[in-house]
Structure 1
Amino acid sequence: MENPFEIINERLKRIEALLDNIYRASNINETGIATTPIMNIKQVSAYLDLSVSALYKMTSTKEIPHAKRGKRLYFDKKDIDAWVLENKVNTTSDIERMATEYILKNPVKFP
């Protein structure tokens, strides 16, 4: 007689494999965020952790990059990623590295 725990374990493995196939086919990961390059407003809301109404306000004031087709809004994931990082704050080590590069490229000449 087979061990019932082994049977349960095998069935769980099959269920996990089926769920993985479903996630891959739907282009949505486990957190519900789209993995496709084009997202709708609900997907962007989940991705950025912002409310849908806040996103509507940002699109009406043209604060966030988007495209409009009829009444629907679409967002390019690359554009959203770039928009999020456009006001990136450099770390101290980044600033020191940039300063060193600048000094090496532009040596000070004394008379």
Structure 2
Amino acid sequence: MENLTFDQLPQAMRLLHDKMDRLELLLTELRAPQETDAVLNVKQAAAFLHLSVSSLYVKVCHREVPFNKRGKRLYFYKTELDEWVRKGRRKTVSELQEEAGQHLLIGKGKA
């Protein structure tokens, strides 16, 4: 630690104050409750999935989409819907060709 002169004290105090503000902000962020998974009702879930409410009901009836039921009400977790959408990803032509090439190599014993 270096020795400060009387003239350097205001600047040193300002720096110390700025560092304390940053530390306080970091501690506040750490103490903040973690964001919980959003629970959506039927209308919100339909809007999130870009579906009509009736189309969403059909998917629920066929158990194609993850849902929760309490009494007569349906609820959806946003993360579960997001994961459901991601699982429906289709491979591109180039991905399919690469996969087919890998299978051919394995079949010939070159992989």
- Normalised TM-score (structure 1): 0.51
Partner of 2:78: 77
- Extract structure 1 runs of 4+ deviating beyond 4 A: none
Partner of 2:103: 102
Larger relative CO (CA 8 A, sep 6+): 1 or 2?
2
Q: Aligned ranges for residues 1-111 of structure 1 at < 5 Å?
A: 36-104=37-105, 106=106, 108-109=108-109
Tell me, in whole angstroms, the C-alpha distance in 1 between the residues paired with 2:50 and 2:76: 15
Tell me, in whole angstroms, the C-alpha distance in 2 between the residues paired with 1:57 and 1:108: 46
Tell me, in whole angstroms, the C-alpha distance in 1 between the residues paired with 2:59 and 2:101: 39
Equivalences, count: 75
Gaps of 5+ in 1: 1-26, 28-34
Larger radius of gyration: 2
Aligned-residue CA RMSD in angstroms?
2.7
Gaps of 5+ in 2: 1-34
- Normalised TM-score (structure 2): 0.51
Query: Structure 1's 95 and 75: CA in aligned 2 closer, same or farther, altered over 3 A?
Result: same
3-state SS of the aligned residue for 2:108? coil
Deviation, 1:103, is: 4.2
Deviation, 1:36, is: 4.3
